[in-house]
Structure 1
Amino acid sequence: MNSRIIGTGQYLPENIVTNEKLSETVDTSHDWIVERTGICQRHIADDDATTSGLAYHAVMAALKDANVDAQDIDLIILATTTPDHTYPSTATLLQEMIGNNHAASFDISAACSGFIYALGIADNFIKAGSAKKAIVVGSELYSRVLDWEDRTTCVLFGDGAAAVVLEATEEEGIISTHLHADGSYKDLLSVKKSVISGPDVYPYVQMKGNEVFRHAVTKLHEIVEETLTAVNLTGDDIDWLIPHQANLRIMTATAKRAGMPREKMIVTVDKHANTSAASIPLALDVARKDGRVKKGDLVLMEAFGGGFTWGSALVRM
C-alpha cells in the first residue's frame, strides 16, 4: 500500500501584523525586512490562543476537504515546537477536540522540518499496515517564543496551522521521504528554555543568522539532489517545489541549484512569514485551493530547521 494526500486545510489567526505596523514598535522597516527575507506580513494569534486550537481549525478544514469523518482516522501526528503542555501531548488534546477516541496520537519536535518528519512517519505507518487514514498537522504559536525587542528574529516568524489527511491506497502517493539531522549545530538556532534550564535562561529564539543561512542553502541543495537521484529524476520532472517558507533568498537559491525555475516554486513567506512546522502544509493548501497544484502533479517538499534537522518528501498529488 501507498499513502496519498486526499485533503488539506489551514488556519491563520485573524490579526495580521504588517512590516509597517511592526516598525512602530521595533527598530526596523518594511524595506529592510523585505530585502533580507521577502516577508511583508505575518499572522499573530491572540493571547488566549493555543497550539491545539489552531490545529483544530486546520484539521477540521482538511477533513472536510477530504470528505472523511474524524472517527475514521486511526493516526494523528502533530508537529510543533510550541506545545500546549509538556504532557499530555498536543496531539491528544487535538484528538479529543475533533471527536476521535481511538487513534494513536503523538507530537514530534523537529523544528521547521517537523511536518516533513511527521509526513515520513505517517507514510511508514500506512505502508506497514498500521494505519489506514492519518492526519499530519503542523501547528505553531511562534509569537510566544519571540523577543519582540530583537529585530533579527521577531520579524521572521508568524503563527498558524495546516494539516493533511492521508489515506492508504494502491495509487502512487508519497513516493519517498528523506530525513536527516546533525546535533552538532545545536547552538546556531535554538530556544533553550526548558523544565530543567532554570529561571535565568533566555526563553526566546536565538539564531546566528549568517551561519544558519549558509548551512540551510547547502543542506537543502543536498537533500533535493538526494531525492531526485533516489528516483532517477531531474528538476525538469518536478511540477512544483514547495520549500519551507523561512527566507525567500534561501528558497530561491535552492530552486536555482536544483535547476528549477522560480515559476515552479510555491511562495507564501511574503504573507505568512516563517510558521515553522506549519509552513509547508500552509503553502500546499494555498496552492491546491488556488488551482496551481492539481491531482497528478509531482510535488517536491523540503525543509531545514533547528537541530539542525532537514528533510524532503516527493509526492504525487
Structure 2
Amino acid sequence: MTTSIAVPPGRSAVLTGVGGYVPPTRVTNEELTARLETSDEWIRTRTGITARHMVSPGTATSDLAVEAGGRALKSADEPRVDALVLATTTPDRPCPATAPEVAARLGLGTVAAFDVAAVCSGFLYGLAAAAGLIAAQIADRVLLIAADAFTTIVDPADRTTAVIFADGAGAAVLRAGHADEPGAVGPMVLGSDGELGHLIEVPAGGSRQRSTGLAAAPEDLFFRMHGRDTYRHAVEHMTTASRQAVEQAGWRGMADVDRFAAHQANARILTTVADRLEIPEGRRLSNIEHVGNTGGASIPLLLAHSARAGRLAAGHRLLLTAFGGGLAWGATTLVWPEVGTF
C-alpha cells in the first residue's frame, strides 16, 4: 500500500539550494580487504564501490549535518529559515533529537526543528514533511538535511555491510512558491511495510530490548540486513513508486525523465531499477563508486555532486526514488532550478 500526496493548489515547496558533505577520511577497497575476507574485485562487482568516506573518532552526525546545511543555505543565498528537518538513522544520542542542536550551530535561533527516521528513505520522507510545513503555512522556508554516520552502527567485521555503508550528509533549502515553477516538488508517493522490518534493522538498543532488563548481545547492537530479500523488495518498490510519481506528475512517461536520481544502495539495484524503467544510461545519476551507500544522505548528496559536476542542469526533469528500512520507500519529481553549487 502506498500513499500519494498531491501538490496543493497555490502554495508548493520549491527547491532553491543544495549542499553536500563527506568527512575527509577516505577508505579504499584495498584498505578494507586487509582486514576482511574479500577482494577489491568482489566489492566492485557486487556493489559498484571503490571507496567511501568515514567519520573520524569523535565526529557525530550533527557535525556532518552542519557542514551540509551550511552549504545548502549558501547555495540558496538564504541565511534564515523558519524550520529545520533532519532525516537520520544515526542521531547523536537517543534523546533529544539532533535537529535542534544543528539549528543552533547554524545560527538559526529558536526555529522549529525535529528529526525524521526513515532510514535510506529519510530524505524523501523529510521532503514530504518539509513540503507539508510549507503547504500548511507553518513555514515559508525550510532547511531539510539528511545525514548519517552509518559506519558507527555497522559491524566492521561484517563484509556484507562494512564494504557498502559510509558516512555523509546532503541538504536542500525549500521555500514557498507555485507548483508550475522550476524546483517545485511534485506529487509524493510514499509507502511502508512494517511486517518486513526485520530485513533491515539494529535489533538492540531500543525500548523493546531495554525493557527486558537483559544486556544486549554484542552483535545485536550492529546494523544487519538480509541482502537477497532487500534487493528484491527495493527493486519492486522503487520501480513501482517511480512509475506512480511520473504518472501523477502528468508526464508522458519515462521518456520525459531527463535525470534519474535513486538512493545509492548498490550498483546492482540501481542498474536493475533503471533498466526496468527503461531509463537510458546517460540519464542515470550516480556517485556510489566514490562515496558508497550514505543512507538517507545519498539522494541530496548525489544531487549536490551532480549539480557541481554539470550532470544536472536547470530545466532537467528529475525523478527521485528511495528504499530503506521500515520497510519504507518513496518517489517524487521536480524540474531542476538554477542553484548555486558549493
TM range (shorter): over 0.9
2:186 alignment partner AA: I
Deviation string, structure 1 residues 94-125 (Cα, Å, up to 9, x no partner):
01101112321000100000000000111121
The counterpart of 2:153, out of the listed 127, 145, 153, is 145
What amino acid sits opposite 1:248 in the alignment? Answer: A
Alignment match, 1:282 = 301
| Secondary structure of the structure 1 residue equivalent to 2:15 | strand
2:167 to 137, 154, 159: 159
1:1-317 residue pairs with structure 2 within 5 A?
1-69=11-79, 72-170=80-178, 171-172=181-182, 173-196=184-207, 197-198=209-210, 199-201=215-217, 202-233=220-251, 234-317=253-336
1:80: how far off?
A: 0.3
Distance in 2 separating the partners of 1:15 and 1:313: 33
d(CA) in 2 for partners of 1:315 and 1:117?
15
C-alpha contact 2:267 2:288 (8 A) present in aligned 1: yes
- Structure 2 CA distance for aligned equivalents of residues 285 and 296 of structure 1: 16
Give me the whole-angstrom Cα distance separating, in 1, the residues matched to 2:74 and 2:333: 24
Secondary structure of 2:186's counterpart equals: strand
Which ranges of structure 2 fall in alignment gaps of 5 or more residues?
1-10, 337-342
For normalisation by structure 2, the TM-score amounts to: 0.90
Q: Give the C-alpha shift of residue 257 in structure 1.
A: 1.0
Cα separation, 1, equivalents of 2:224 and 2:168:
20
TM-score (norm 1): 0.97
Provide the C-alpha distance between the structure 2 equivalents of 1:274 and 1:255, rounded to a whole number of angstroms.
17
* SS of 2:44 mapped into structure 1: helix
Query: For 2:264, what is the secondary structure of its paired residue?
Result: coil
For residues 138-170 of structure 1, the C-alpha deviation after alignment (integer angstroms, 9 at most, x for no partner) is 110111101111111111100011101111123
Q: In structure 1, what is the Cα distance between the partners aligned to 2:190 and 2:121? A: 9
Count of matched residue positions in the alignment of Structure 1 and Structure 2: 315
Q: Which runs of 5+ in 1 are unaligned?
A: none
Alignment check: 8 A CA contact 2:65 2:146 kept: yes
The Cα shift of 1:174 comes to: 0.6
Could you tell me the percent identity over the aligned residues? Answer: 35
One-letter amino acid matched to 2:83: L
3-state DSSP of counterpart to 2:187: strand
Task: Indicate if the aligned counterparts of 2:189 and 2:331 stay in contact, CA closer than 8 A.
Answer: yes
Q: Measure, in 2, the Cα distance between the counterparts of 1:297 and 1:206.
A: 37
Segments of 4+ moved more than 4 angstroms: none
Shift of 1:200: 2.0
**Amino acid corresponding to residue 168 of structure 1 in structure 2:** A
In the TM superposition, residue 193 of structure 1 has moved relative to its aligned partner by 2.1
Query: 8 Å contact 2:239–2:277 — kept in the other structure?
Result: yes
Cα deviation per residue 1:264-299 (whole Å; 9 max; x = unaligned)? 111111111110000000000011111221222211
Q: Distance in 1 between matches of 2:314 and 2:51?
A: 30
In structure 2, the residue corresponding to 1:102 is in which secondary structure?
coil
